[in-house]
Chain A
Amino acid sequence: MRPALRAGTLLLGALAAALLLPAPADAYVGPGAGFAFLGSFLTLLLGFLSAFFSLLTWPVRQLYRALRRRKAYGRARVQRVVILGFDGMDPELAARYMDQGRLPHLAHLRDTGTFRPLQTTFPPISPVAWSSFLTGVNPGKHNIYDFLARDRASYLPYLSSAQIRPAKRSLRIGRYLLPLGRPQTKLLRKGKPFWHFLGEAGFFSSIIRVPITFPPEKFSGVLLSGMCVPDLIGSQGTFSFHTTRPGAAPKQQGGREIPLEPQGRLFRSYVPGPDNPLRRDNPTELRVAFSLRPEPGQDLAHIDLPGQGFTLRKGEYSDWIELEFKAGLGIKVPGICRFYLKEVSPHLELYVTPVNIHPGKPALPISHPFAYSVYLAKLLGLYATLGLAEDTWALNEGVLTEEAFLQQCALLQAEREKMFFDALEKTPRGLCVCVFDITDRVQHMFWRTLEDDHPARQGSTNNHGEVIADLYRQMDDLVGRTLRQLDEESLLLVISDHGFKSFRRGVNLNSWLCQNGYLTLKKGAAPGEWFQNVDWERTRAYALGLNGLYLNQKGRERAGVVAPGQEADAVKAELRERLSGLLDPETGRVAIREVFGSGAIYHGPYRENAPDLIVGYNAGYRAAWDSVTGKVTGSVFEDNTKAWSGDHCLDPRLVPGVLFCNRKIACERPAIVDIAPTVLELFGVELPTHLDGKPWVVSDKPLP
């Protein structure tokens, strides 16, 4: 017999033997075959059981829901509301580009439906405005006034939206402290999102990356948290920059520089992780070591991590790389990051994104239900979970080039579009909301490309003059693709939380307060960040965050000196008078249009947590970088030369957002706070009495 024929016969014989043999083989299906068949069989079985159970109980659940929320959709004027949130889309720019014919889909909405400026909040900052969007109330009721709030005892800032603490219980094993459970997360935003009321009324919602939804709350639907989800080390995003260049960047804001140590042809470094949660007594930073082997001739480098390796070309991002930070006792903290090879020679430079919480194995809850983030990761692949994922600091600090930053933004945008369209498909009825951040981040970083005389443009060529127009065109295309998915029963809202203006000059309020006797430094001491060396016994007011100004009030602040009541009112009135209309001596322009007393603009149970005064900057001005972090400097005014050249933390009347709708809306001055009551009313849900927003009159007639 020829060998090949014989081998074939042998294989056939083996197959026949396995199938026909009476005793050993006929019962056998593993382990090799078992892995495949059992795996797929179990999946199918689970799937069918799950579906069967779901279908079996569906009538019961529907009956229950129908009894509880009778005729929910019967009362609704729409079957589905889709809200596209374009963070920071500016109505003036949108109108300009529409007039130029660059935004056909938005222009179509404008011409046949609605396009209006959308009134924003005091102050016009994303966490504040989106909180008002989702709760339908003013900040006095939802308790978010800025990214940061201040600790009255220490005068130090903390994240205003969420608090993360170690697990409640732990077990001490030798030098280890084993946490029994997940870290505790607490949402500091008050008030219920309007999708909570929709859920109670029997409507399903899919909510993707709406800011200030971390930690996620329970409701009837699915939600992936957005802005303010921390990275794995607990910050709002800390990149690492690995370089062989000596003294490349002595201090990196928003990141860390870590040297690449040469070892033969290799360079060794590590990705920094969180502090070891098991070593409370002596917290040490967890790290994942990696080695890098450059190929200078080919402009690429090989990167080796434990259990995996990959090759990167210069100017290229890696896929999301899964990391495991080993804490001991078999406990691992999973995270993901991307690598970007910036330079191969003469110096090796590697940027690593902040380590994101792994969406498939989240160390903290980032979605509701918990499995939703896992579902998205399994369906669409790994994705950024960090709230502020576009690394604006890395561009600001010169670690990323403009091209690399835009490349990063594009990668993130692609992930979010996939999530949105999946949510849209999964929500044939009910509410679907998705907020896209790219509009905000790119305008922050590239506004200077719109102005030839912007201080941040000094000496540089404008290679990205069309970036913002392209961005708007990209969002318009997204609107077009969304419209194609909608039927006549779907209402589409395209909104933004605020608009944008140039940020040319910074105003250091703390310096002004110091120069005018409201804030006093300790004698002979140099000022530093976070009010270092401020003499609180002789300080009457201080500024913290982007628009907030606080009195150092007796009985409220630890070392307060201003008596509440008349004295406080007098200081506030004095500050309002002196700061409103503050002139920039260098330009002769008004830097601050108006200062608002919080008592006049906020009402609700959490008004006492608000800054005492809200500063409304004029267009072109904003709080100076050092002022935001509580540092007194020599001058009140300074040029803003950073890439971060556009902003919106101004007088809110200057930076309204946008409102587009595929139906006519009758309302003179629509505001972001009105959206919650409007959507509730569209679904026929009774409006909770505490809402501040007023529902708009929306036509029943959809677009032709």
Chain B
Amino acid sequence: MSGFLSVVNRGFAFLFQPLQSAPPLVGLLVVSWLTGVLMVLLFRFTSNQKELRRVKNRMQAHLLAVRLFQEQVGVVLRAQWRLLGWTLAYLRHSMRPLAVVFLPLVILLLQLDAHLGWVPARPGDPLVLTARVAAAASLDQVSLRLPAGLELSAPPVRIPEDKEIAWRIQAAQAGEFTLEVEAAGQRVSKKVIVATDLARVSARRGRAGLFEEFLHPDEPPLPEGSILETIQVHYRRRTINLGLFQTHWLVPFFVLSLLSGYAMKGLLRTEI
């Protein structure tokens, strides 16, 4: 699992390399467009295109019937009923391509979130780091060791009710740092990214487990037997500036990838 995720991580890091110095919106545009095209191709090769076309034609026919025969209430209601039936048939025919594209999509989303979802700490900006332990009593056994370039800007704060300890740290210069959290004599590392450009970040390192590894693939899980449950760097969530408003990256990604898919489906001779 970790080997596979490591390959995926490296692959996406390579793909994002050219976009790193570009504004996030540009990167998002490129990725959304490519994703749309890729999904259309996957849809094409995993669906029964002929049947899908037939089903869509029937749907459109009954839609037209509603307008053409609007004087005849019975006909309109029958057309509605049939429209519902064909829509369900359409969904049924879409299930296979959906099942096929689901896993690649989730992986893609997680990768995109790692690249586009968070703003790395900027040089000089304070950054909060928290460590959660299994029992509040062990909070006193947790300490932080910072590498050169990172410094503590405030003393640690223990929050027993949340079983958490928090530190405020900052870096004078950009770079990728590896700090260490020492808990009950065991040292565990955590990456911290300080950058001005688009950068891939790993916000959290947690205990071993399928979900944890899948959702946070950039760092290995915490070692077995550690009293630590998670170590988390609280980066800011990134918002995409669309001029009139700011929004989560998923919104423009969703719209742009759909638009790209619909725009390219004719060229790619795909019925969706």
Contacts and interface: CB of A to CB of B under 8 A. Distances in A.
Interface of A: 6, 9-11, 13-18, 21, 23-25, 27-40, 43-44, 46-48, 50-51, 54-55, 58, 61, 204, 220, 222, 307, 369, 371-372, 374-379, 381, 425-429
Contacts of B60: 43, 378
17 contacts: A13-B211, A18-B106, A24-B109, A27-B254, A28-B254, A36-B94, A39-B90, A40-B91, A43-B87, A47-B80, A51-B77, A54-B66, A54-B76, A55-B76, A371-B64, A372-B68, A378-B58
A14 B254 CA distance: 19
A195 to B, nearest CB: 14
A14 B102 contact: yes
B29 interface: no
Given A29-B254, A32-B97, A378-B60, A204 B91 contact: no
Nearest to B237: A23
Contacts of A222: 68-69
Contacts of A375: 61, 64-65, 68
A376 B61 CA distance: 7
Contacts of B97: 32, 36
A379 B78 CA distance: 14
A36 B257 contact: no
B248 interface: yes
Interface residues of B, number: 66
Given A31-B258, A54-B66, A36 B87 contact: no
Contact of B106 (A25, A43, A44, A47): A25
Nearest to B36: A31
Contacts of B185: none
* Best-surrounded residue of A31, A50, A369 (most CB of chain B within 10 A): A31
B102 A32 contact: yes
A15 to B, nearest CB: 7
Interface string B236-255: 01000000000010110010
Nearest to A54: B70
Contacts of A13: 210-211, 214
Contacts of A381: 57
B62 A47 contact: yes
B157 interface: no
Contact of A9 (B36, B210, B269): B210
A14 B106 contact: yes
Interface string B25-50: 00000000001100110110000000
B109 A28 contact: yes
B179 interface: no
B72 A428 contact: yes
Contacts of B72: 204, 426-429
B148 interface: no
B137 interface: no
A132 to B, nearest CB: 28
A662 to B, nearest CB: 23
B105 A51 contact: no
Contacts of A48: 80
B147 interface: no
B54 to A, nearest CB: 8
B63 A43 contact: yes
A40 B90 contact: yes
Contact of A30 (B66, B80, B258): B258
A25 B107 CA distance: 11
Contact of A36 (B57, B58, B98): B98
A31 B257 contact: yes
A24 B117 contact: yes
B215 interface: yes
A683 B65 CA distance: 25
B250 A27 contact: yes
A525 B35 CA distance: 73
A32 B105 contact: yes
A633 B260 CA distance: 66
Nearest to A24: B113
Contacts of B64: 371, 374-375, 378
For the complex of A and B, list the 5 residue pairs with the smallest distance between their C-beta atoms, beginning with the closest: A36-B94, A379-B61, A378-B61, A32-B101, A31-B257
A67 to B, nearest CB: 15
B6 to A, nearest CB: 15
B254 A44 contact: no
A376 B262 CA distance: 25
Contacts of B261: 31, 34-35
A3 to B, nearest CB: 11
Contacts of A204: 69, 71-72
A426 B69 contact: yes
* Best-surrounded residue of B77, B109, B117 (most CB of chain A within 10 A): B109
B110 interface: yes
A6 B2 CA distance: 13
A422 to B, nearest CB: 9
A32 B65 CA distance: 29
Contact of B43 (A35, A47, A50, A425): A35
Contacts of A29: 254
Contact of B103 (A11, A51, A426, A427): A11
Contacts of A47: 62-63, 66, 79-80, 83
A426 B79 CA distance: 10
A17 B60 CA distance: 35
Contact of A50 (B67, B106, B260): B67
B18 interface: no
Interface in B104-126: 105-107, 109-110, 112-113, 117
Contacts of A379: 57-58, 61-62, 65
Nearest to B272: A35
* Best-surrounded residue of B65, B103, B211 (most CB of chain A within 10 A): B65
Nearest to A380: B61
A371 B63 contact: no
Given A13-B210, A375-B65, A51 B76 contact: yes
